[in-house]
Amino acid sequence: GFELDIIEDGSLLFDWSIADTTFTSGQLGFFNASQPDTDYRMSAVPVPAAAILFTSALGLLGLLRRRRSV
């Protein structure tokens, strides 16, 4: 997962945390020339092991269901 903070003049304007295990490249494209006093910070957030197991099991169940319907 990752966390994105938008800070302007030392004040936190926006804090966004995403527990998405598919975003693994660690790259983000962003451009904003209209706010020179604004900082954009992105950092990795550890995802709990239970969430990884749950999404893996959910994907496996989806594959099994698709296999039965074909």
What digits encode the pLDDT tens for the residues 27-59?
A: 666 666 676 776 666 666 666 677 777 888 888
Model confidence, pTM: 0.35
Q: Which amino acid is at 27?
A: Q
Q: Rounded to an integer, what distance in angstroms lies between the CA atom of residue 50 and that of residue 52? A: 5
Which residue reads 């989806």 in tokens?
Answer: 62
| Residue 21 · residue 56 · CB < 8 Å | no
Query: H helices of the chain, where?
Result: 49-69
Is residue 24's pLDDT more than 70? no
Q: Rounded to an integer, what distance in angstroms lies between the CA atom of residue 63 and that of residue 65? A: 5
The domains of the chain are located at: 2-69
pLDDT value at residue 8? 79
Average of per-residue pLDDT across 16-23:
68
